[in-house]
Structure 1
Amino acid sequence: MTQRLPPSLTPLDTALAALLRGVDPVAPVELRLAEAVGCIAAGMPLLAACPPRDIAAADGWALCARDIVGASAYSPLPLTTAPVWVDAGDAMPPGCDCVLDADAVEVSGPLAQALAEGVPGQGVRRAGSDSSGRAPAVAEGHLINPATLLLARVAGVETLGVRQPRLCIVNVPGAAVTTHMIAEIARAAGLHVQTREAAAQDAASIAGALGDLNCDLVVTVGGSGVGRRDAAVSALAKHGDVLAHGLALQPGRTAAVGRLGKVPAVALPGSPDHALAGWFALVRPLVDRLSARQPRRPVTLPLARKIASSVGIAEIALLAEEHHAWLPLAVGEWPLQAIAGADAWLLVPAGSEGFAAGTPVDAYLMRE
């Protein structure tokens, strides 16, 4: 039977609130460092002080700055004790607080003289300068990135506590390209992703793929429109509850949100632009709730030209950064080239008619 969208579309804010209602963060798990990148930190331990002692930051002569005050190439200063050569990473010898370049000290047999002054800390990496021992590698609720892993490895940490929601993606035949895109975005966001294939485009086949799930959220891709073979929403209704189908969102109007028991579910359209808009507007806030992520920071820049929008419909605009301004590439309907060339996206609220050129707007980066 042909599906029909409701005569009045559900406001995006209403659909999102229904989707998030009762959703709590998932329990933390421990992952090895290479597996934790892209995940959200949870219960981070304090790192040990690093380096644990003063070390040389460069190859050279380890000296006490106080002992070579006034030394220069024109007025060499004899050294009463033989200088110690250190390589970068060596512990600083007792009583030494600076490292001079090789040509700053002249050694002739048992005699040595300084040809330059030094200052305390010159050429030295102080104890605790990389990690004080009073803070974690990253604050709880923040993204674990390669810099986080660098700190953890230097401190000798082998695993990190993270919240990693488990996502099941059900591909409806005919939407394979879009499914691959969504799965790649999800993995880059640190989710544990499993995919399933519906045997056919009918509601029974899609419902079969929705059975026996062990995950924290479900996303179907394809079959959420109003055509004769769009059966994902019917399948969702058979297994659970449909909270809203037909959203005041462009692109993404035919997306749906629901529940499979206690598991939140989002039915994304099969078109890449509509599915991506549904991911930004619906799935990403859900992932942030499940992972207890701290609020994302937008990038605020003025618009290079105006954006016009229809009142009553939330529209997502794709933007490119150009000359320290946001240049609109597409609004409401997105060509694939616009998706590939976009640096950020902007949600124009349903109550807005758009933004004038020069207006500072908060946009979110396509790739973090």
Structure 2
Amino acid sequence: MAYLNVTKIEEALSQMKLRFQRKDSTVEMVDLEASLGRYLAKDLYATENLPSFRRSMVDGYAVLASDTLGASEQSPMILQVVGIVDIGCKSELNLTTGYAAYVPTGGEIPVGAEAMVMIEHTEALGPDIAIYYTATYGENIVGIGEDVQERTLILKKGTRLAPQHEAILASLGYAEIPVVKKPKVFILSTGDELVDVSSTPGYGQVRDCNSTIIRNIVESCGCEVVDSVRVIDEIEAFQKALRNATVSADVVILSGGSSAGIKDMTQLAIDSLAGNTDSPNVFIHGLAIKPGKPTVVGQIGEKPVIGLPGHPAACFITMKAFVEPFLNDFIGKNETEIRRIPCISGFQLHAAGGRDVYQLVEMVYEEEKLTAHILYGKSGMVSALAKANAYVVIKMNQEGIKVGDNLVAYLL
């Protein structure tokens, strides 16, 4: 296996983009209530003005602004109240100078009214009202289309729908939403030592935590895990499982079997299945990152197959650094920027020659500064994962990190 020919993350992601067609053209309609977390399949535009009528922002009295000129606590203006606007009903009132009308929050502003005076700045005097405040034109009034104008773009294709997005969609009457159909992902875990998380491991056995890592990150990207299967370390069983996976899913992710050990079969299994006749199915076998170097990337037909390292920390880092960005692009996510924040290094670490180092850290506030503390862990340990809330990257052309250096932390 060509482990020395490692590929930089950026180059690997570019190759993935060139080889595999995005799934954002596969559209399905879902109810608004079921659209949370889904990706928009097309741009959405306002179908009407919001609000569709002049709306009051406060409980109070609709007035002509000129009728309140000079009004104060010491010198109120007295206006005659001509009526009340009921919430949710069209106003039939027409205000002229010297008159006012009570309007609740959200009620329609009567024709002729120019401002709303909050009820706190008024006092009822029988059929009249005393105004203790000088209002300006348009004060406390939301005009027609001031919130959203008809035919304006409200949400872009590729937006992942959050509660705030659903609020405006509901306000505009979008009962059904065009979303990208979830790409299907099949997870294969290899290793005779693996047992189910609900099982008690025997001697030399471990619970399969990598499948949980992969599933959670895959689903957080908006994809669907169609199945998760463990396979014994036999090439025939591996080939059969891989063949079935490529039939039922858009993406196959393998855990384990991609290091240089004696029982590793990932590249052999991928290359043994029918695929590109002019070249091997595997086109990347090694990423220029630490941990995560022994990562397989192949293509069977039109399907990407990604083989991850078996160690949990390496599996997690490779999912975050490589697989997650690929899936975000694959599904057509509009914003693919990873959340990041500046911080100060609380540790010293040397770079790894020829590879970018992805180091798990714990971010804490110390002396009013956000400081990153390294989380040490030997290969295969999972305790560092539980404490980590971010990671930092030491580029291969850097010498390393010293205490007090300015860093950028990528939030988990």
Q: Distance in 2 between matches of 1:7 and 1:199?
A: 24
Which of residues 22, 32, 41 in structure 2 aligns to 1:25?
22
Q: Distance in 1 between matches of 2:145 and 2:284?
A: 53
**Which residue does 1:187 correspond to in 2?**
219
CA separation of 1:165/1:111 partners in 2, compared to 1, >3 Å: closer, same or farther? closer
Whether 2:258 is the aligned partner of 1:224: answer yes
Which of residues 244, 258, 270 in structure 2 aligns to 1:236?
270
Q: Deviations over 1:119-168 (max 9, x none)?
A: 33433333334323354332234433222222212222123333355132
Would you say the 8 A contact 1:41–1:161 is kept in 2? Answer: yes
Runs of 5+ consecutive residues of structure 1 not aligned to the other structure: none
Q: Please report the TM-score for the alignment, with normalisation by the length of structure 2.
A: 0.77
Would you say the 8 A contact 1:56–1:87 is kept in 2? Answer: yes
**Which residue does 1:299 correspond to in 2?**
340
Runs of 5+ consecutive residues of structure 2 not aligned to the other structure: 83-99, 195-206, 276-280
SS in 2 for 1:244: strand
Which of residues 359, 366, 382 in structure 2 aligns to 1:317?
359
Would you say the 8 A contact 2:187–2:253 is kept in 1? Answer: yes
- Report the AA paired with residue 235 of structure 1: A
**Which residue does 1:12 correspond to in 2?**
8
Q: Deviations over 1:310-363 (max 9, x none)?
A: 121221123426345451434796854443343333333333333455554444
Would you say the 8 A contact 1:329–1:338 is kept in 2? Answer: no
**Which residue does 1:139 correspond to in 2?**
156
Would you say the 8 A contact 2:186–2:226 is kept in 1? Answer: yes
Q: Distance in 2 between matches of 1:248 and 1:110?
A: 81
- Report the AA paired with residue 340 of structure 2: V
Q: Distance in 2 between matches of 1:205 and 1:33?
A: 43
Return the index of the structure with the highest Cα Rg.
2
CA separation of 1:129/1:355 partners in 2, compared to 1, >3 Å: closer, same or farther? farther
Q: Distance in 2 between matches of 1:120 and 1:333?
A: 69
Task: Out of 242-251 and 9-18, give the one that drifted further.
Answer: 9-18
Q: Please report the TM-score for the alignment, with normalisation by the length of structure 1.
A: 0.85
CA separation of 1:177/1:7 partners in 2, compared to 1, >3 Å: closer, same or farther? closer
Matches within 5 A, 1:55-204: 55-82=55-82, 83-172=100-189, 174=194, 176-204=208-236
Task: Out of 201-210 and 261-270, give the one that drifted further.
Answer: 201-210
* TM-aligned CA deviation for residue 118 of structure 1: 2.3
- Report the AA paired with residue 44 of structure 1: D
Q: Distance in 1 between matches of 2:376 and 2:351?
A: 8
**Which residue does 2:293 correspond to in 1?**
253
Would you say the 8 A contact 2:211–2:228 is kept in 1? Answer: no
CA separation of 1:28/1:346 partners in 2, compared to 1, >3 Å: closer, same or farther? farther
Would you say the 8 A contact 2:186–2:249 is kept in 1? Answer: no
SS in 2 for 1:147: helix
**Which residue does 1:215 correspond to in 2?**
249
Q: Distance in 2 between matches of 1:362 and 1:141?
A: 26
Q: Deviations over 1:53-103 (max 9, x none)?
A: 221223222223222122223222111443322222222222224333334
SS in 2 for 1:211: helix
CA separation of 1:308/1:41 partners in 2, compared to 1, >3 Å: closer, same or farther? farther
- Report the AA paired with residue 224 of structure 1: S
Question: How large is the RMSD of aligned CA atoms in angstroms?
Answer: 3.0
Would you say the 8 A contact 1:251–1:333 is kept in 2? Answer: no
Question: What is the identity percentage for the equivalent residue pairs of Structure 1 and Structure 2?
Answer: 22
- Report the AA paired with residue 393 of structure 2: L
Whether 2:264 is the aligned partner of 1:265: answer no
* TM-aligned CA deviation for residue 296 of structure 1: 1.2
Tell me the number of residue pairs that the alignment of Structure 1 and Structure 2 aligns.
Answer: 362
* TM-aligned CA deviation for residue 197 of structure 1: 1.2
